[in-house]
Copies of this chain bind each other. A is one copy, B any other.
């Protein structure tokens, strides 16, 4: 890294040293030592700038900057946890950008004696990535009432450590609760549409719909040499056929207008011995599309193929937990506010959809939400080579500052009514 006088870039470099990997990325899986170090580093950073830091029951980290004591709160945030061998930008960029933007909003108010109608809280959501503890977006799911805190705290990683134990071990758990009136998030795109279009900023219009399934393929353990083909119940063959079928479905159902994306990100074979036909494979399959009808058709096709795969491999395929998100729009007024803010700064921008899930995917269901993207080089993500150029990061911080300033002045949501009646009527903190 070359030395920099820019305070954001200097902090970004410091932050990226936590859990740094040899390949230029980070490994800060949720509630690991490296995640705890990053959370503590961030606490120290913002406390030095007058923020107050608290934790809720599932380890969401709230860094509060009071602009108008007693006023309601606007949240800005993302997540500091990462994938194993993940990139430095995914999530962490948004949390740090939020802290810098909040400070710059305060400085601008100090300079002009302007009045804020809201205070700002920067939220570092617990376990957005969902690699160590499933599912992903865990902290924001509890905040938005989609998961119970009790259930989350008992969730164990593959080694048997629960979320409660892991959070207690890194000391970032508490009982804090804070309702918010609106939510703003900035994130790297993790796709290549901004880069391809030559744009600096993406204004996120909607999420894609995603159906995620846990499958277990049940076969029977046998000898890879001595057991003839007719006698085999090969779980690995069945699971492999499911992976191949998922790709075929993505290709068959994608249209010019609506893409279908299918993936299998986790695939674990038992007993996984060189001379043993597998007795069981656990795998996750997800199907995503921008269009609910296209998604439904692709999903139906996937399920229709299961019986044939069961027959071909002589196995039984069991569907376990599922997580389903509909394709949903972000707040239209927020999209327009962000467009005006980008124009006022002279930043090129365009409307995008997010294929990935984000904490804002949850938050938009309970409060008015604005979601912003900055470009990712070649769309590479969940990879140590993930990259967003310094200039693009700084443009994003500028825009986030302008958006937050407008939201705090009351241009997005009104401070009256919000506190008494939270949007969506959900219980904000379980």
Interface residues of chain A, those whose CB is within 8 Å of chain B, are 83-85, 129-131, 134-136, 189-192, 208, 210, 220-229, 231, 234, 236-237, 239-241, 243-244, 247, 250-251, 254, 259, 261, 263-269, 271-279, 284, 286, 288, 313, 354-357, 378-384
Shortest CB–CB separation between residue A195 and chain B, in angstroms? 12
Contacts of A381 in B (CB 8 A): 222-223, 226-227
Shortest CB–CB separation between residue A413 and chain B, in angstroms? 28
Contacts of A131 in B (CB 8 A): 271, 273-276
Which residue of the partner chain B has the closest CB to A309? B244
Contacts of A266 in B (CB 8 A): 269, 272-274
- Contact in complex: B225, A210 (CB < 8 Å): yes
27 contacts between A and B (CB under 8 A): A83-B271, A129-B273, A130-B275, A131-B276, A136-B275, A190-B225, A190-B226, A192-B228, A221-B382, A224-B263, A225-B263, A226-B354, A226-B356, A226-B381, A228-B259, A229-B261, A234-B247, A236-B267, A237-B247, A265-B277, A266-B272, A266-B273, A267-B267, A267-B269, A267-B278, A273-B382, A276-B382
Given known pairs A222-B381, A250-B229, the reply for A269 and B271 (CB within 8 Å) is no
What 7 pairs between A and B have smallest CB-CB spacing?
A: A190-B226, A224-B263, A240-B240, A240-B243, A225-B356, A131-B273, A226-B356
Q: Copies per complex? A: 2
Which residue of the partner chain B has the closest CB to A191? B226
Which residue of the partner chain B has the closest CB to A259? B228
Other A-B contacts than A84-B273, A263-B277, 18 sampled, CB-CB below 8 A, are A83-B271, A83-B273, A84-B276, A131-B273, A190-B227, A191-B226, A220-B380, A223-B381, A225-B357, A226-B354, A228-B379, A237-B247, A244-B244, A265-B272, A265-B276, A266-B274, A275-B382, A277-B382
- Contact in complex: B224, A274 (CB < 8 Å): no
Give the residue of B85, B239, B355 whose beta carbon is less than 8 angstroms from that of A226: B355
Contacts of A243 in B (CB 8 A): 236-237, 240
A300 to B195, CA, bound (A): 44
Contacts of A382 in B (CB 8 A): 221-224, 227, 273, 275-277
- Max count, chain B CB within 10 A of own CB: residue among A189, A243, A254: A243
Shortest CB–CB separation between residue A353 and chain B, in angstroms? 10
Shortest CB–CB separation between residue A96 and chain B, in angstroms? 20
Contacts of A251 in B (CB 8 A): 229
- Max count, chain B CB within 10 A of own CB: residue among A208, A222, A259: A222
A284 to B269, CA, bound (A): 13
A268 to B234, CA, bound (A): 16
Contacts of A221 in B (CB 8 A): 85, 382-384
Which residue of the partner chain B has the closest CB to A85? B271
Which residue of the partner chain B has the closest CB to A275? B265
Given known pairs A237-B243, A383-B221, the reply for A134 and B226 (CB within 8 Å) is no
A275 to B132, CA, bound (A): 11
Which residue of the partner chain B has the closest CB to A380? B222
Contacts of A250 in B (CB 8 A): 229
Given known pairs A223-B190, A226-B381, A380-B222, the reply for A274 and B284 (CB within 8 Å) is yes
Shortest CB–CB separation between residue A363 and chain B, in angstroms? 17
- Contact in complex: B288, A227 (CB < 8 Å): no
Which residue of the partner chain B has the closest CB to A192? B231
A208 to B313, CA, bound (A): 24
Given known pairs A236-B264, A355-B225, the reply for A275 and B83 (CB within 8 Å) is yes
Shortest CB–CB separation between residue A19 and chain B, in angstroms? 14
Shortest CB–CB separation between residue A123 and chain B, in angstroms? 21
- Contact in complex: B273, A383 (CB < 8 Å): no
Contacts of A226 in B (CB 8 A): 189-191, 354-356, 379, 381
